[in-house]
Chains A and B, each alone.
Chain A
Amino acid sequence: MKRTIPVLIASIAGLVLIIAHFVPPAQSWGDEVNTWFQILAAFAFFLGGGSLLKMHLKRISDQQEGWGFSAVTLLAFGITLIVGIFKLGVLPSETYPTKPWSGEYLGDGGALWWIYQYLFTPLNATMFALLAFFISSAAFRAFRAKNTEAMILLVTATIVLVGRTYAGAFLTEGFNPHWQLAAIIDEWFMSVFNTAGARAIKIGIALGVVSTSLKVLIGTDRSYLGSEE
């Protein structure tokens, strides 16, 4: 029961979707199963939040190194969750002014809006902006044209880097439009070689996904069930 039923659930759910794709009258089954998936996806967010809570509470209770940061994480998590769920500061929807809870949870002026705007946005955006610095350091330290393949990669990257700015246009300004750097990148590097490589990779990935999916549906791949219990 611990392993057979889940395998059956996976197979039936997948097959229902495949049948629904080919048999139009069965489409409504497929839509129903898909709606279940969406609801479960929302529960998965709660599972994620619960795991975060569990892990950081343990770090705090064990007084592990850096437990103070765990406390900050939990505080930020708790405040965001509470003000968001209770729609703190959110005004009612203008369409339904008499229903106080009708406003959008991220409504302008609400506490969640403020947190999103002034805490989440700068933190999220700057985390990724940091990569510009790391990539510049890597460019100097790690990218070596040690063999033909690395040379091709670096030369291509350099052409793309120069060609995707005004420098490319400036360097090849008087050339025939087809032989200007931007056109060479677009028409040859991107549309021919890159497209060929991307297509081959996509074909490879597709074959991998199809075979893995088939293994799940016929029950030969049960790795998602985890270890025996």
Chain B
Amino acid sequence: MKPDKVIAGIMLVVGLVVLFRTSTGGMGQSYSREVTVSPASAPDVQWSKYEDAFPREQGEPGVSFSWSRTLGLWISALLTLAIFSFLLGDNVVYKLAEAIFLGVSAGYVMVAGFYDGIVGKLLAGLAPTLMRDSLLPGLPPEQQTNWLNIVPLILGMMLLWRLSPKGGWISRWPIALFIGITAGFRMLAYFEADFVGQIQNTIVPLLVFAADGSFDWVQSVKNLLMVTGVLSTLTYFFFSVEHTGVIHRVSRVGIWVLMITFGVGFGMTVMGRIALLAARLEFLFDDWLWLIDPLNRRS
């Protein structure tokens, strides 16, 4: 039997289930609740906002079928299937979904960068009054204009010069600032937390005695193995000395320790990937197809 036939069979069954359940109104619907907002600071101003509601809540005051959320749910489900279609080979549907993903993610981070970085940090410093009157009404009144923010503004413009076909060297100044700052703070952090810190963490008693004075052999063996493991792995990393004789044997132990570390990492990676798949399948089965209802959204 060819897998294509089985896959086609599964797709047919899923298609029929979707058709049947959609026609009976038994899947893929979203509801929202209309909530009236009456801000305390402006009693004459009032508006409505819409919050997610469960299908079981339909009929309650303010709860109604939401076209925009239902459309969104269907698009989400179809995009999920579009990405999964890559398993059958590269195809137009997958490429389309990939293209949308690329555009949306770039657009989203730019918006986040604009409001949280350019507005929240740069313009809040350069034009606090304007920001207070428009985008950031809660900006503290004591915040004065910080003229030093002109420096990152100019450097930012210089950074964007990189997009120009000529004068690419102009963007080196802001890049240098980036690199210099990163080098400065990373050097300290890594030295303190990952170099000195890890050495400190490794200095543990090799003979451990419990509070009642008895010898705790289990903890002693653990500490001994941990210290031996760190030292032997570091020996393996030490390439300035030829790995022969004792060094060879010790570094071989180090390789074994690393292999256990990587084995743990591999096992955990598999665990992570399966969890992500389970979450997507749960979305399809619960939110879209209504085959399961673990959160009692519908009953």
Residues of chain A at the chain B interface (Cβ within 8 Å): 2-3, 5-7, 9-18, 21, 32-52, 54, 66, 69-70, 72-81, 84-85, 91-99, 101-102, 105, 108-109, 112, 114-133, 135, 139, 148-150, 152-161, 164, 178, 187-207, 209-210, 212-214, 216-217, 224-226, 229
Contact = CB atoms under 8 A, between A and B. Distances in A.
A214 B117 contact: no
Given A129-B279, A156-B260, A203-B199, A42 B118 contact: yes
Contact of B264 (A50, A92, A190): A190
Contacts of A13: 176-177, 180-181, 184
Contact of A116 (B100, B108, B149, B183): B108
Interface stretch (B3-11, B54-62, B71-79): B71-79
Contacts of B259: 149-150, 152-153, 156
Contacts of B80: 122, 125-126
Contacts of B75: 118-119, 122
Contact of A39 (B117, B188, B283): B117
A16 B184 contact: yes
Contacts of A212: 183
B229 A193 contact: yes
A132 B159 contact: no
B173 A5 contact: yes
Interface stretch (B19-27, B131-139, B205-213, B290-298): B131-139
Contacts of B181: 13-14, 17, 33-34, 36-37
Interface string B91-122: 00001111111111111111111111110011
Contacts of B83: 122-123, 126-127, 129-130
A85 to B, nearest CB: 6
Majority SS at the chain B contact face = helix
A17 B185 contact: yes
Nearest to A19: B184
A166 to B, nearest CB: 13
Contact of B107 (A77, A190, A192, A209): A77
A54 B114 contact: no
Nearest to A70: B99
A21 B181 CA distance: 13
A43 B107 contact: no
B173 A121 contact: no
Contact of A124 (B101, B160, B269, B271): B101
Given A119-B101, A160-B271, 5 more contacts: A42-B113, A43-B118, A73-B102, A187-B222, A196-B230
B266 to A, nearest CB: 4
Contact of A69 (B95, B111, B267): B95
Contacts of B160: 43, 46-47, 50
Contact of B258 (A191, A197, A202): A197
CB-based closest 6 A-B pairs = A42-B117, A196-B229, A156-B263, A80-B107, A76-B103, A160-B267
B179 A224 contact: yes
B2 interface: no
Interface in B125-166: 125, 133-138, 148-149, 151-153, 155-156, 159-160, 162-163
A216 B182 CA distance: 10
A95 B41 CA distance: 7
Nearest to B30: A118
A204 B236 CA distance: 11
A189 B90 CA distance: 39
A203 B195 CA distance: 5
A227 B256 CA distance: 42
Given A36-B152, A42-B122, A51 B163 contact: yes
A13 B121 CA distance: 19
Contacts of A124: 101, 105
Given A39-B122, A52-B106, A200 B177 contact: no
B195 A45 contact: no
A77 B137 CA distance: 29
A7 B121 CA distance: 26
Contact of B230 (A54, A102, A114, A200): A200
